[in-house]
Structure formats: C-alpha cells, structure tokens
Structure 1
C-alpha cells in the first residue's frame, strides 16, 4: 500500500471513530459507555497521525515541501552513484499487498452505515442467564406494574426466598428471541456486556400467553411470574418465565446492552 494511501486510511479511521463516539452515540452498540473518552482520544490520535503522514507525503490537501531544482553537478553525481536505481528501490518500498485495500471496508461501514447491535442471532446461541448472587433484595417499587430489569427479575425468581414477586405485576423491556421449540412461547432478551460486544452474555425470560413479534423487535412486556418447571419461586429450579398481559412495541434504546447485571432498569 502506498504511503499516501496509508495517510488517507488513518484520516478516515480517525474520522469514523470520532463520528461514532463524539458526534453520536453509535459506539454504545459496540462498547460500554465508560470507554467513550478512550475512543475519542484514539480518534484524535489517528487524525493527528494522518495529518502528519499527509504533510510528509505531500498529499493534494496538504502543504507540499518546496523542492529546488538540482544543479547539473548534483544530477551527474546522482547518476554516477546509481541514483535511478535508488529511486526505483524507494518506490518499491512505498507499495504493499493489494489486499490492504480491504482495510477501507470497515472504515467506510462506520462512516456510511454502522453495523447494528447484537441481537437474537447471538442470544439464541446462549442458554445461561448469568446473574450474580444477591445477598439481600430491596422491596419492589410500589408502582403497578413495577419496572424491573431482566437481571432483577431472574435474580428474584431464583434467589429471593421472601418471594417478593408473588402476585406482583412487573414491566420489563427487551428484544424478541424466538424459541427453538414449538411451545408457542418466545424469549424477552437483553445482552449484558462487561467491556464490549465481544464478551456479551444473554439474559432471557420465556414469555407465555402472547404471540411472538418478529425477531429482534424491541418490546415492553407487562405480566406476572409464570409458575412451572417443578421449582418454587425463590429457588434455583424456579421457572424463569412470565405470563404476559400486554406486549407493546417500543423503540430500541440508545444503549441496547446492560452494563454488568443491574437489578433495576
């Protein structure tokens, strides 16, 4: 890859990262919110390196250095010492494998059409609800329905020996993941990230009593705990499921992931 192409790639990469991290909140599809300052700093550094490279290589939009014409003696000396060969040798070093052009594709994707956040395709390949152990549960909000994060619902179903969910109507938000069986149920899902989308884990609650919207649709589900599965509420074998009363479509949140496993929305 020629050196001036490297400069353009640095500038475009810096601009793309700056666009998704500073000028918008698209970065939340890929990393957790706390990493935003590091993305902005990286983008600024890439832009600075791109400008330096552009000036060095004399790109059309950069100031070109003033090259004076060599005198005849200098030209002759250059020929005697193989100046032409040195020029060719240097030119060869400025090129590289053509496959390097592929590096432009992810950069253009971020600038023109940023890939969406992970969804049901990822969640369908995980079955564990990774919820931390909770020593003590605070009382549910007095509101009816009580707003609750998926992690909070799962933790209370499996760990709350006081059965705080018994008889309570809750409101939870997530996206739709189809069930692999033919039970007529589906999953309300959220993905949890510790650092970025690469380490995501799924939180899934089986939904009974409502037809499944299309996969990846974001919905707000109002309902009560669904008994079944042979386990009592507040035990590890309790069914992580809800009997839906209402299912309403909602816009995808700005941050589609949950950081770690909060128990409240």
Structure 2
C-alpha cells in the first residue's frame, strides 16, 4: 500500500482510537475530572467507547477493502506491463501533491499523538494563578450557572460566599463565620489583603472561571506566597481597609498553608 493511501485511509482512524484510549485511561485513573465537569464524565466515557468501537469497525472494513484492492490489482498487472513504454513520461505534479499531503497529514498526526501522550503520562496541572488573573473580571456577577447556596452556611465554599457578595447581599454575609480553602492571589489595590480563590467549572477546564473572597490579613505575605493553598477560618465583616475595592472581607482567626485538594475545582 502506498504512503499516500495509508495517510488518507488509516491515520485518522489511528488518531481517533488513540484519543478514545487516552480519554478512557484518564477516566480509569480518576483524572478525567480535572478536564471536564463530573456531570459529563459518563457521557464522555460512553462517547469514547463508541469512538473506539467505530474506529475498530472501520479498520476491519478498510482491511477487507485493502485485500480486495490488492487482489484486483494483480489481475491488471500484466496489462500495465504491456504498456507503450511512456510510463516514465507521466507528469510529476500528482506525485508532488501526494507528497505534500503525506507531509501535512504526518505532521498533524505526530502533533496530535504527542499531545495525547503528554495528556496521559504527564502529571496533570491545574489552572494557575496567572490564568485566574487573566480570567478575573470584577464587573461580572455571580458565577454563571451557580445555584443558590442552601443548608448550613458553615459548609459554604468560596464560590457560595462570593456569589452572595456579588449579588449585593452584604448584610446576609456580615457576621457569618466561614472555614474556606483556596489558593492565594495578591490584592492589586491593598497589600494588607489577599484574595482566596477557586476555579469553578461549568463544562470543562477551558471554561473554568475564578471566584474569590477578600481576606484582610496585614502581613499575610510573611507566611503565604501567591499561588499557595491555604485554609482560612474567620468571620465576615465590613472591610476595614480603605484601599481594597471589596466592601466585605473575611477577618481571619486562623490562616494555615495546606496542600492542593485532590479535586481543586468547584462545581
């Protein structure tokens, strides 16, 4: 089989199969939740299984077709050999075009294959503080698709408190105690405050958006660094800072560095 025919018939199927296997591997190892919302895990796994089954089925069909083409080709071999001797005069343009197609397909396939290998074998990295800064917009409202917090406020997350504050419900928040875990972002307006942040996933990591609450803690940078994960306990109050843009802040009674949670994203 020529390289051109291989590129046009088989490379796509191989990449589909590799992508499906990589997706299933992430699901088996428990890392798929770092890329898609848990509510879509079953859907993604089912689609990966269907894609793998389709790729295998198409490979079987192509194998039979290749065998039939090869058998038919033997029957015409003698006719080609009895040609008029001008085979060598065929224009080289089709061959050059075929070579270009092979190069493009091979390069694309190599890029996708390397990406799949990195996705499977490289340790997954969560979205960074720089990504949070790039995706933060202080003018937006509550996290899109967020549900109304309910139940015991002591179980509220950074997302829950942030949504209440963004809705202007300061009176409901002030005086409430909270114990929160998030990563540290510097407050660009007030060196005595920092933002305790989490990423919230709606569908997948691509659409993740940061949400945060302001923590008023003079001298915080002596024990915490930007990007560190911390557990902060305290009470919400009117922000004593005259520099911060936040009207309400968490006044901490305890601040302790912690490790990154196994699932760093909130849903």
TM-score for both structures, normalised by structure 2? 0.70
1:117 aligns with 2:126: yes
Aligned counterpart in structure 1 of residue 266 of structure 2, from 255, 258, 262: 258
Unaligned runs of 5+ in 1: 59-63, 232-236, 260-265
Look up the match of 1:42.
47
Matched, 1:11 2:33: no
Mapped contact 1:30–1:117 kept (Cα < 8 A): no
Q: Which has the higher contact order (CA 8 A, sep 6+)?
A: 1
* 1:130–1:24 distance in 2 versus 1, CA, 3 Å: farther
Secondary structure class of the residue paired with 1:224:
strand
Residues 208 and 56 of structure 1: is their aligned pair in 2 closer, same or farther, counting only changes over 3 Å?
A: same
Match of 1:130 among 119, 123, 141: 141
| Compared CA separation, residues 80 and 159, structure 1 to 2 (3 A) | same
Q: Match for 1:95 among 91, 102, 125? A: 102
* Aligned partners of 1:137 and 1:160 also within 8 Å: no
Q: What is the rounded CA distance, in whole Å, between the counterparts of 1:169 and 1:33 in structure 2?
A: 29
Shift of 1:222: 0.3
User: Which deviates more, 23-32 or 246-255?
Assistant: 246-255
Relative distance call for 1:38 and 1:155 in structure 2 (3 A) is closer
Provide the C-alpha distance between the structure 2 equivalents of 1:138 and 1:40, rounded to a whole number of angstroms. 31
The worse-fitting range, judged by mean Cα deviation, of 163-172 and 30-39 is: 163-172
Q: 1:75 aligns with which of 74, 77, 80?
A: 77
Q: Give the whole-Å Cα distance in 2 for the aligned partners of 1:132 and 1:74.
A: 67
Deviation at 1:116, TM superposition (A): 1.8
Which residue number in structure 2 is paired with residue 263 of structure 1?
Answer: none
Q: Secondary structure at the match of 1:188?
A: strand
Shift in Å, 1:28: 1.9
Change over 3 Å in CA distance of 1:247–1:77 after alignment to 2: same
1:211 aligns with 220
Q: Distance in 2 between matches of 1:174 and 1:92?
A: 54
What is the TM-score with the length of structure 1 in the denominator?
0.70
Provide the residue aligned with 1:51 in structure 2: 56
Q: How many residues are treated as equivalent by the alignment? A: 240
Question: Pairwise CA RMSD of aligned residues?
Answer: 4.0
